[in-house]
Each structure stands twice: as structure tokens, then as C-alpha cells.
Structure 1
Amino acid sequence: MQQLDWIVLGVTLLSIVTYGVWKTRKSAANVEDYILGNNETPWWTVGLSVMATQASAITFLSTPGQAYHDGMGFVQFYFGLPLAMVVICITFIPIYHKLKVFTAYEYLEQRFDVKTRSLAAILFLVQRGLGTGLTIYAPAIILSSLLGWNLTHLNIIIGTLVVIYTFSGGTKAVNVTQKQQMFVIMVGMFITFFLILHLLPNDMTFGNAMHIAGANDKMNIVDFSFDPETRYTFWSGITGGFFLALSYFGTDQSQVGRYLSGKSIRESQMGLIMNGFLKVPMQFFILLTGVMVFVFFQFNTVPLNFNPNNKIAIEKSPYRTEYHKLEKQLSALSEEKKEFNLLYIDHLNQNYDNPILRKKLIALSGKEKDLRDQAKELIAKADKKSETNDKDYVFIHFILNYLPKGLIGLLLAVILSAAMSSTASGLNALASTTAIDIYKRNVSGYKSEKHFVNATKFFTLLWGIVAILFACIGTLFENLIQLVNIVGSIFYGTVLGIFLVGFYLKFVKAKAIFWAAVVSQSAIFYIYYLDVVSFLWLNFIGALLTIILSSLLQVIIFRNKPELV
């Protein structure tokens, strides 16, 4: 990185933090102002805030790498999201606003009892605490690899930056900073996309690039197969993705808190509908950027493994010579790929999609994959603790090695802005839930509004420390964006089931839903341990189990038993 990159990165991040603190410098006088932003947020800010909360650094770090290796199929994961937005707008939002709740879990006590409210809140705190730690850990990986800095120190620095303005201004600070963060994010991604097009061979059109991607199976967007072991299909996206989105946006306080701050029911609904319209196209665009990075590397030098830490481990091991041989083979293969890709483009420019050349490109890609797999085996032998999966390093490798001065700093600011955005929402939600659902519900005696504001600030600081600790002990698991979604899928289904029973099955009472949720969550842990289905199905299974079990328990066991108040 050059001095200009550091200036762009530093000015961007410090401006966001300073603006957040300055804009909300007048300390909130009551809990409603600190947690709900005094219900002054317009619909478009709600929409941007909802999008920014979900668009973590993991999204911009991992998604392009996911597309580079596996193609566009990951977009199916989001197919159920627009449907979920409609359901939430019709059912969830009116109920939350009518009851004037600070958190989603307050509703559960009014509908069931305090045990059910506490169970849902605790499940949320566990998964969101881990998820928030991951949103800090992801950008820390980037900078530690880039600068050689201590990963733990970076986790602390990034976490502290977020805590400063979240602690200072609560929900208002989160909302006002997320507008700036989304602007930086989208500007940076669009510039990168068009720069990739510019860096491709001169006679190559966007259509030609798509043909090359298609010849390498990167443009298989929709898979209608019913194989439960296939992770991303149309059906898992519409069902599992729908239930995950319904759980996340409807019951996760990090998202519920965003639209509870809306000026009215209509403003909150419009904000969510905005997210429903824009989320899938945004993810499609990010994945397409990853595919374009793949096309770019068909004409440029590509490393055997994108993770620079693995290269260091190999150089210190007795497998160094074998690894260098693989690198030479890959270099020769890359030249061959470039030659055939250029020939393929010439044919495309003559309106002829040569099937023989397509097969040749597929064969060469297969050889490259084989070389990479051999490299992973050597890396694993060199250091058993090494993470051989390098998806999360693809995009950052491209940024650092091929973008011009200044733009590198902007792209790093994009990734860090996204991290700060989602981390701030997570901390705000964790603090609000702990203060309202746990502390306020159990504290005895009269306490002033100022007391609960200070308590919420204290929990913001406490959860900031916990998230930083989670980040410090985090490790890569296949792909960061998958890990975040796996963690959510394990917990979200059961919580969603509780809410759906509360909304739609009025005959089910507190004892039935509480024990159904306990059994359902235990079953989900076991199903995930067995690894018999894609994690996306856990959302559907968890919700369905909770609904069916609670109904059966109510009808068979608790039907004639009065509820204890």
C-alpha cells in the first residue's frame, strides 16, 4: 500500500466514527431515545440501515471468493428473502409497533411467559455474540495478512472503533453512520467492477467474459435439483433461505431494532420492502464481481493458493521443492489457458461459440483444480493448523496486486466500513436485549430512565469486549460467509418457530411452546452434528419442529392444565 491508500483508508474510517459521535453527541435522556432513536428514522434510512446491517465485511470479503471458486449458485441462498420481507411487513411489524416494544422478545412474554421470552433472548445472545465477533475477525484477517500485524491487536482496534460511536449514541449513531457506510461500500464495488472490465484484454467484451465464465461453469445460477446434500439450490433458497430471512429480519434484534426506530408502521414497512427489492440484485452484483475476477485471472498470473500465510508455511517446510514444482506447472498451465481463451474470444467475435474450445477450457480448469488440490495437501502436511481453503483471500489478493493507488485504500475502507456497520448493529442489539429482556425484567425496585440508559451503555461496552474475545479465538471454517450463515441457521429456526406459534396458533400456551423449543433446539444441534442435510434446511426443520411439537404438547399433555402466572 502507498501513502495515498493509507490517507484514503484513514480519512474514510475516522470520518465515519467522528460523524457518528458528533451527530449523536447529546446523550440520550431516556431508553426510547437510546434504543429506538425516538422513532424518528425515515423509511429510506431504515432500508439502508437494514441492508448495511446484513452486508458485513464477510459479504465483501468472502462472496467474491465464493463466486470465483463455485460460481453464481450462491445467489439462490437469497431467493426466499423478498417473500420473507412481505410476511414481516404484514404480520411482524404491525404487532411490534402496536405493543410498543423495545425488543422483539418483549412480545413473547406478553404472548406466553417470562421463561419463553428469556429462552429466545438467550438463544439470540449466544448466536449474535458469536456472529458479531466474526464480523470483527473477518477484516482483521485482511489487515493482518497485508501488514503482518498481530491479529489480536487488530481485533481490539477494529472492535474499539465501533464501540466508541455505538456506546456514544446508541441506535441513532448506528443509523446515521450506516448511511455513509453504504455509500462508501457501493461506490467502491462499482468502481472495482468497471475497473476489472477495463483490465481485461482490449478486444474482449462483457458478453465474451460471460461466455468464458459460462464455459467454466461459473454462470449456473439456478439449480432445480432435489438433492438435500447440495448446499445451494432453488428449493433450499426458497424454503431454507425464506425461513432464515424470516428469522433474521423478523426475530433477530440486530435487524428488528433497525425498523423499530422507524417513524411509523408504514415507514418501517417501506424500509423493509426497499431491502427486499435491492438485496438480491446487490448480492448478484457482488457475486458477478467475483466471477469477473475469475475471468481476469484467465489472462493473468494466479497464485497456487491465495492465502499468503500458507505460502510462508510452505517455504519453511521440507515440502517447499514439491510446492515450487506445482507452481511451475500452474504457470505453464496459465499460459496455455490464456492462449486458448484468446482463441476462444476470436471465435466469439466471429459469432461462433466453438464447442471444441469450450471443452478444452473445461479440461484446463480441471487440471488447475487438480494442481490446487495437490497444493492443499502439501500445505496441510507442512502445517496441520493451516487453513487450506483460500476463498476468503481471492478478492483481497486482486485488490492488493492489481488496483491502482488510492483505490486500494478505498476498497479496504469498503470492507472495514461493512465490518463496522454490522458490528455496530450487533452490539446495539446485544446491549438492548440484555438491558431490556434480562436486566430490566429481573432488577428489583424503582430505577430511573437514566439508569437504564447507562445500563444499556454498559452492556454495549461489555458485549464489545465479548465480541472482541470471540474474534480473537475465531478460526476460518471453509468460508467466513458460510460460517456466519451456519451459526444463524442452527439457532434461528427454533426462535422463528416460537414467534410463528405466537402469531398464528393462539391455542398453544406457554408450557407447550417452551418445552417444544427446548426439544427442537436440542434436535437441531444433533442433526447438525450428524451432517445429513445442508445447513439451510436447519431453519425450516427447526421452525417446523417447534410448531408441530408445541401443538402436540398442547393438545395431548397440557390441554387441561392451567397456565401458572
Structure 2
Amino acid sequence: MSLPSIDLLVFTFYLLGIIAFGASFYFRKRNSLDYTTGSGKLPAWALGMSIFATYLSSISFLALPGNAYSGNWNAFVFSLSIPIAAVFAVFVFVPLYRKLQSPSAYAYFEARFGLWARIYASICYLLTQMARMGAILYLLALPMHLMLGWSITHIIWITGLGVLLYATLGGLEAVVWTDAIQGILLILGALACLVFILLELPGGLGQFWSEGMTLEKFSLGSFQWSWTESTFWLVLIYGLFINLQNFGVDQSYIQRYLGAKDIPSAQRSTALGSLLYIPVSLLFFMIGTALFVYYQHFPDRIPQDLATEGDKVFPYFIIHALPDGITGLLIAGIFAAGMSTLSTSINSSATVILEDHVKKYLRPGLTEKESMSVLYWSSGSMGFLSILVAVGFRGVESALDAWWALASIFSGGLLGLLFLGLISPKLSKIPAILGVISGLMVIAWVSLAEFFPQLALPLIHKNWAIVLGTMAIIITGFLAGILMSTKSTRYLSD
């Protein structure tokens, strides 16, 4: 289908405007520190909006309303875990990484366990980001294909090249300021959508609330314990570990800690970005439930075969029900969600390539000009590879399931390694390596057991992978450290 001219104008103006604005940072005189951290001059509110925009990808923009439409608010429990993780981020992670004085998060792993840990952690991060960017590009293209009728491959290339251009040229400053704009656009678009749905309901907000309560659409899930079902407790624990991983070992977030002028500013931006996600995610769950109530009263306004597919209902509503202009704003919002996440991953990946690989052992004596060249080439290469990965996802039966499996494996248990270093400050590298191996085995079991039925491994919910993998690393590494320390003491006494 073709968009009305005003919607196409809104969308085109946004897309070209954000690319031009981000690319304009290229013309400022900068060095590699400006490119990777903004030299610690970025305002806390903009960094906070950037953290928020990184949280809310295009997957969330469409998946959260889809979850609420098809089921209940069980997935919202993920957001309820954020304040606990944010406390760790503000009082533990921000001071830790600010004191390191390194653009790379993984300098900590080298200081704690040696160069092997830094190389291992940084490679895990790069693999994760490549898979993440590919999945986001592909999953963004799917609804846009349904909404606009454009080719999936064309959408992937247009979006990917647009983000690649301004993220490569503009560096962290471009990423943060475009994220701030896109974060505001996301919120405004979602608010406009919810208000429109509630105004269309005969009983307005009261009807939304009463019917949602009657149908148990606001349920947070079962409070019973289960290893196989998505209960309240599973989502809460899973959310806590994922958020700790984001704040504790994800270069994308840690670069923003370094972008602020001092520790208090970095703490404020982290608190703002993380806590803002809670009401905004609530807003998307409200949209999903409101859509369910809306189509219960107006079933003739949606094809019946589509009404049962939650992830497709919101895109359909955006195209067919919203007024002209608002439709263009929402489509721009979906692109904004995807672009903000992609630009962050491109910039942080380039930083890791420069700091953890090129400068560390490939070309230690780089000049400033050479460092900038590496950053430009690394950004462009990671962006281009993500496009190829996204195109490759077209042959996968479920891109989202594939991304979840890859993310669990590629994360490599880095959260467990981080906490092992924090709670055991004298631990040597051998116990740490043993811990990582045990954690990877557990992660592989939880993530991949269903693909190897001949092994007859017990199947549990995949969200337990990061939880059990992290705990395996901490426990194994800690116990191995005690045993090795005991043996060493006995040997010396003998």
C-alpha cells in the first residue's frame, strides 16, 4: 500500500533530517576520545535519553503491545526489575568504570584476570552486537514490509545504510544527540496513539480499565514457581540478570558513563535512562490492552485472520486507523527505535575494536590520525556486516528465537565473570577460566537442549540460561579458587 502524502512527508523528513543531523558532527574538530566518549562533555539528560533509547529497540516497540494484546502484562515484570539493577549501576558500576579511565569496559577484565579475559570479553561483545544488529534490522523490516509493502531487503539496506552513515561519521556525540531526539519522538508517538484509542472507545479510559480487569489482561503472571513456564518470578529474576548484564558489561551503556563530566552526572544519566523505561514500557502495554478492548468492540475494523496475531495488530492499526500525520509519526517512531539501537551498537563496537584489539596487540603505537581511521573503518565494517546478517536472517524460521539463542551463547557469561572479580578480589586466572567453562556449558544446555533430543537433557525455559550460567561461573570459580588456595598453602607448608 502507499502512504498518504502527509505521512510520507513526515516519515521522509524525519529519516533525512536525523541522518543529516547525525552526520553533521563529522565536521567538528575531534580526536578519538571525542569520537568514543564525547570527552566527558555530554549533558546528563541527553545521555539518559540515549540510554533509554538504547533500551527500547524496534522489537520492544512492536513486541510489547503484541504481548499485551495476545496475553497479559507478564512481560512488564521485566521492567519492575530495573530499579534493583539501577541501584547496582549507580553505586557500583558507574564508579568502577569511571575510575578505570579507559574507553573500553573490558579493561577491567584485563586488570582483574589478565589479557585473555579482555580479549575473550570483547570478542563475545562483538559477536553479540553483530547478531543483535542483524536481528533488529530484520525484525524492523518485517512490520514495515506489511505496513508499506516495500521489499524486506530494500528496507534493511535503506535503514542500515542510513544508520551506518551518521553513526560512522558522527561518533558518540551523534549517537547520543540523535538518540535523545528519537527517544522524545518515541514517547510522543506512543502517547498520541494511546490517547487516540481511548478517545475512540465508547467508554473511554473507564471502559479500558473495567474490561481489562474483567478479562485479566493486567495480570502479571502466575506467582507459582516453575522451571518451564514464564511466571512472575522467572521474568523478575531474568529481568534482573539481563539488566545487570546491560549495566555491568555492555560497552554500549558503559560508554555513556564515560560521556558525562563527572561521577554524579553519570549516575544521574543512568538513573534517568533506566527508570524512564518503566513508564514508557507501561505505556506500550497499555496500548496493547487498549487495542484488544478496541477490536472487541469494533471487530469489523480488522481482518479476522489478523486479529489473532498480536505482533501484527499494532502495525495494522497504525496504518489503517490513525489519522493522517499521526501514522507518519508512528512509522518514524518505529524507525527511531531501531535506528537508536543500531547506532549505539555500531559506535560501541568500533570502540572495542580500537581499544581492545588494534591498540592492545595489533598496532600499539597508533597515532591520533590512525586511531580515527580505525574508528571510521570499524564503524563502517560493523554496520555493513550487520546488514548482511539481517539479510541472512531471511532464511531463518524464527529470527527472534535465533537471536535469543545466539545472545545467550555469545554473551559468554560475562556477568558471572564480572561478579566473580568483584566478590573475589584475589582470585587467579585459572579458577576464572574454569568458572567461564562451566557457565558456558550450562548456557549451552539451557539454550540448545531442544535441538538435541537424542541427549535426553532436561528442558527448562530459555530465560534461565543467563541466570544459571552466571551462577555456575560464580560458584565454580569461587570454589576452584578456594581449593587451589588450600592446595597452594599445603604445598608451601610442606
Map 1:217-366 onto structure 2 (within 5 A). 217-233=216-232, 235-300=233-298, 301=300, 302-306=302-306
Match of 1:360 in 2: none
Is residue 454 of structure 2 the alignment partner of residue 456 of structure 1?
no
Match of 1:376 in 2: none
Are the equivalent residues in 2 in contact too, given 1:24–1:172 (CA < 8 A)?
no
Closer/same/farther in 2, CA of residues 25 and 232 from structure 1, 3 Å limit: farther
Partner SS for 2:28: coil
Tell me how far apart the structure 1 counterparts of residues 364 and 254 of structure 2 sit (CA, whole Å). 29
Closer/same/farther in 2, CA of residues 478 and 395 from structure 1, 3 Å limit: farther
Match of 1:311 in 2: none
Are the equivalent residues in 1 in contact too, given 2:125–2:250 (CA < 8 A)?
yes
Map 1:47-446 onto structure 2 (within 5 A). 47-201=48-202, 204-233=203-232, 235-300=233-298, 301=300, 302-306=302-306, 390-444=309-363, 446=365
Match of 2:456 in 1: none
Deviation at 1:239, TM superposition (A): 2.0
User: What residue identity is the alignment partner of 2:191?
Assistant: F
Deviation at 1:487, TM superposition (A): 4.5
Deviation at 1:464, TM superposition (A): 0.5
Are the equivalent residues in 2 in contact too, given 1:77–1:232 (CA < 8 A)?
no
Match of 2:17 in 1: 15
Are the equivalent residues in 1 in contact too, given 2:47–2:273 (CA < 8 A)?
no
Closer/same/farther in 2, CA of residues 44 and 295 from structure 1, 3 Å limit: same
User: What residue identity is the alignment partner of 2:30?
Assistant: A
Closer/same/farther in 2, CA of residues 444 and 74 from structure 1, 3 Å limit: closer
Are the equivalent residues in 1 in contact too, given 2:45–2:269 (CA < 8 A)?
yes
Give the number of the structure whose alpha-carbon radius of gyration is greater: 1
Tell me how far apart the structure 1 counterparts of residues 447 and 23 of structure 2 sit (CA, whole Å). 42
Closer/same/farther in 2, CA of residues 487 and 198 from structure 1, 3 Å limit: farther
Tell me how far apart the structure 1 counterparts of residues 258 and 221 of structure 2 sit (CA, whole Å). 35
Closer/same/farther in 2, CA of residues 558 and 472 from structure 1, 3 Å limit: farther
Deviations 1:463-515 (A, max 9, x none): 101111111122577684x7655654444471001111112211311122123
Are the equivalent residues in 2 in contact too, given 1:248–1:492 (CA < 8 A)?
no
Tell me how far apart the structure 1 counterparts of residues 392 and 141 of structure 2 sit (CA, whole Å). 12
Closer/same/farther in 2, CA of residues 149 and 128 from structure 1, 3 Å limit: same
Closer/same/farther in 2, CA of residues 478 and 215 from structure 1, 3 Å limit: farther
Tell me how far apart the structure 2 counterparts of residues 304 and 560 of structure 1 sit (CA, whole Å). 69
Are the equivalent residues in 2 in contact too, given 1:127–1:487 (CA < 8 A)?
yes
Structure 1: tracts of 5 or more residues without a match? 307-367, 373-389
Match of 1:521 in 2: 440
Tell me how far apart the structure 1 counterparts of residues 486 and 427 of structure 2 sit (CA, whole Å). 9
Tell me how far apart the structure 2 counterparts of residues 444 and 460 of structure 1 sit (CA, whole Å). 18
User: What residue identity is the alignment partner of 1:9?
Assistant: F
Closer/same/farther in 2, CA of residues 286 and 154 from structure 1, 3 Å limit: same
Is residue 473 of structure 2 the alignment partner of residue 546 of structure 1?
yes
Give the length in aligned residue pairs.
Answer: 476
Deviations 1:25-52 (A, max 9, x none): 22522x2111011111121112111000
Tell me how far apart the structure 1 counterparts of residues 334 and 141 of structure 2 sit (CA, whole Å). 10
Partner SS for 1:282: helix
Match of 1:354 in 2: none
Deviates more, 1:482-491 or 1:243-252: 482-491
Partner SS for 1:298: helix
Partner SS for 1:535: coil
Deviations 1:131-152 (A, max 9, x none): 1112212221122223333211
Are the equivalent residues in 1 in contact too, given 2:43–2:260 (CA < 8 A)?
yes
Tell me how far apart the structure 2 counterparts of residues 464 and 561 of structure 1 sit (CA, whole Å). 49
Closer/same/farther in 2, CA of residues 232 and 449 from structure 1, 3 Å limit: farther
Deviates more, 1:147-156 or 1:183-192: 147-156
User: What residue identity is the alignment partner of 2:345?
Assistant: G
Identity rate, percent: 27
Deviation at 1:305, TM superposition (A): 3.2
Tell me how far apart the structure 2 counterparts of residues 151 and 529 of structure 1 sit (CA, whole Å). 29
Partner SS for 1:473: helix
Tell me how far apart the structure 2 counterparts of residues 538 and 465 of structure 1 sit (CA, whole Å). 30
Tell me how far apart the structure 1 counterparts of residues 278 and 397 of structure 2 sit (CA, whole Å). 25
Tell me how far apart the structure 1 counterparts of residues 72 and 43 of structure 2 sit (CA, whole Å). 37
Tell me how far apart the structure 2 counterparts of residues 52 and 197 of structure 1 sit (CA, whole Å). 26
Deviation at 1:539, TM superposition (A): 1.9
Tell me how far apart the structure 2 counterparts of residues 422 and 463 of structure 1 sit (CA, whole Å). 14
User: What residue identity is the alignment partner of 1:225?
Assistant: Q
TM-score, structure 1 normalization: 0.80
Deviates more, 1:171-180 or 1:272-281: 272-281
Are the equivalent residues in 1 in contact too, given 2:141–2:155 (CA < 8 A)?
yes
Are the equivalent residues in 1 in contact too, given 2:74–2:221 (CA < 8 A)?
yes
Tell me how far apart the structure 2 counterparts of residues 226 and 509 of structure 1 sit (CA, whole Å). 37
Deviation at 1:130, TM superposition (A): 0.6
4+ residue runs of structure 1 moved beyond 3 angstroms?
Answer: 475-480, 482-493, 557-562
Deviations 1:54-84 (A, max 9, x none): 1111111221111110121110122221111
Closer/same/farther in 2, CA of residues 123 and 187 from structure 1, 3 Å limit: same
Match of 1:318 in 2: none
Deviations 1:366-413 (A, max 9, x none): xx9xxx6xxxxxxxxxxxxxxxxx433121011111111111111100
Deviations 1:175-229 (A, max 9, x none): 111111011111111000000011222xx13122222223333111353221222
Match of 1:383 in 2: none
Deviation at 1:236, TM superposition (A): 2.0
Are the equivalent residues in 2 in contact too, given 1:74–1:232 (CA < 8 A)?
no
Tell me how far apart the structure 2 counterparts of residues 123 and 285 of structure 1 sit (CA, whole Å). 33
Match of 1:26 in 2: 28
Structure 2: tracts of 5 or more residues without a match? 451-458, 490-494
Closer/same/farther in 2, CA of residues 270 and 220 from structure 1, 3 Å limit: same
Closer/same/farther in 2, CA of residues 97 and 113 from structure 1, 3 Å limit: same
Are the equivalent residues in 2 in contact too, given 1:189–1:411 (CA < 8 A)?
yes
Deviations 1:12-36 (A, max 9, x none): 121111111224522522x211101
User: What residue identity is the alignment partner of 2:303?
Assistant: P
Partner SS for 2:102: coil
